Amino acid sequence: MLTDVRIEDTRWRALEFAALAERGARAVLSELGVAAEGFEIAVLACDDAQIAVLNTEFRGKPTPTNVLSWPSEERGAEVAGDMPALPVGPPSPMEAELGDIAIAFDTCAREAEASGTPLADHCLHLVVHGVLHLLGFDHIRDLDATVMEGLEVSILGKLGVGDPYCEKRGV
């Protein structure tokens, strides 16, 4: 398994979240041509209270958020719009861990309802988003955001999920 999922909030079980996380993570690596074998991603499926603690501790923001990511190493592109330094396999034991993701049920459910998106689709999007962060993609600089969002749309489309950014683009 690529993902090691720890479910802290039992509401995640109804979504079969472990399978959803595995599917999303594998789709990202496949899209980028990275063989999943030998790599691992730790995923914490929690609630708003727990993610707020993590968001406070690691980002200094004392509020809940939908997803947080902690890459095992910095892979980001130095030049805006360039591809990050993707891992190549098979990994050595020290390179096997791509990083950690935490995702909050309450925030995800609110966002899905507000956008009229099925909860499973929204959560799949956030897993894809989080895994891309682990691989060095970001959305702080405009060109990087364009690359990252384009990958998300492509990956999600292959998974049967619509474009989560269509409203942003005025589509």
At 162, list the tokens.
Answer: 């619509």
Q: DSSP code of 97?
A: E
Per the CB < 8 A criterion, the answer to whether 159 and 23 are in contact is yes
Best CA proximity match to 73, nearest among 26, 127, 136: 136
C-beta neighbour count of 84 within 10 angstroms: 21
Separation CA 152–CA 164 (nearest Å): 8
Find out whether 122 is annotated in a ligand binding site: no
Burial 65-74, CB ≥16 within 10 A → b, else e: bbbbbebbee
Binding residues for Zn(2+): 129, 133, 139
Binding-site residues sit at 129, 133, 139
